[in-house]
Amino acid sequence: MDALLHQILAGLSTGGIYASLALALVMIYQATHLVNFAQGEMAMFSTYIAWSLINAGVPYWLAFLLTVGISFVLGVCIERIIIRPVENAPVLGVVTVFIALLVILNSVTGWIYTYTIKSFPSPFPEGMALGRYMSPHELGAIGVTLLVLAALYVFFRFTPLGLAMRAAAQNPVSSRLVGIRVGWMLALGWGLAAAVGAVAGMMVAPIVYLDPNMMGGILLYAFAAALVGGIDSPVGAVIGGFVVGVLENVLGAFVIGNELKLSVALVLIIGVLLFRPSGFFGKVHVTRV
């Protein structure tokens, strides 16, 4: 029983990280109807920026904030410079650009920082919290994730800019007619997604260690989370993230073993696509023919 509880709580912690990354995917999907395959590598690159800052002697939380800011700017730049020119290209073309971005970020990081695995510090103390069920880092990661999600919710729900971003994602034509600069809203969306991804990267790096391929598996779980929740539902993505985190941990520990854990994500993806393509919280799209 103790072991199960432990696994569930650990699952919630990694689940929060999947939830953040899934939310970043959903944010870009809602605005562009495209899945950004480079989201994981963008987060990984951000984490390396944080690592450089911390190694240069910048205090952790300052480095954290700087990294979020730099990632936001980089996200905006990627949209403006790389994505914007292919805005009206066929889907397959854009997907190719995403994959190219993934490969380029991965290689450039490897080239700058080498592929040697590095440890990444946690801002939270060592030892055990919550009566030995969770490490302080796991608990802290959940807290940080929830804080980010709450901030995003408040931003999208209660600020004029958040409203304009939602409007631009839904109906670009009408948005222009009320004076919204739709192109910039998309760029802001990329910036926010990159910033959220950066937080996810910094929270997961102390657990999986830092290397250019660290996000491969995590992105797969994030895809599973986004699909379980419904790729067009931010709330679904968050719940999906926590569900996938717990499932992965519990199944990995007690049923299929840690080596086969990643296949949980694949089974979830295929299962959802087969039996409930719009996810558990997504909208079912009906088209008249």
Q: How many CA atoms lie within 13 A of 54 on its CB side?
A: 18
* Distance in Å, CB of 182 to another protein, minimum: 7
Does position 177 interact with another protein (CB under 8 A)? The reply is yes
72 neighbors 61 (Cβ within 8 angstroms): no
* Distance in Å, CB of 179 to another protein, minimum: 4
* Distance in Å, CB of 186 to another protein, minimum: 13
Does position 178 interact with another protein (CB under 8 A)? The reply is yes
Does position 163 interact with another protein (CB under 8 A)? The reply is yes
Binder to another protein among 32, 52, 171, 263 (CB under 8 A)? 171
* Distance in Å, CB of 23 to another protein, minimum: 18
Task: Name the nearest CA neighbour of 72 among 234, 202, 222, 189.
Answer: 189
Task: Name the nearest CA neighbour of 36 among 80, 89, 100.
Answer: 100
* Distance in Å, CB of 149 to another protein, minimum: 20
In Å, what is the CA distance from 121 to each residue of 104, 126, 205? 26, 11, 8
Closer CB to another protein, 119 or 170, in the complex:
170
Report helix, strand or coil for 231. coil
Within residues 133-162, the interface with another protein by CB under 8 A covers 160
DSSP result, 52-101? HHHHTT--HHHHHHHHHHHHHHHHHHIIIIIIGGGTTS-HHHHHHHHHHH
Does position 90 interact with another protein (CB under 8 A)? The reply is no
Secondary structure E strands in the chain: none
Does position 175 interact with another protein (CB under 8 A)? The reply is yes
Closer CB to another protein, 84 or 166, in the complex:
166
Does position 176 interact with another protein (CB under 8 A)? The reply is yes
Q: What is the number of other CB atoms lying within 10 angstroms of the CB of residue 179?
A: 7
Q: Which residues bind another protein (CB under 8 A)?
A: 160, 163-164, 166-167, 170-171, 173-182
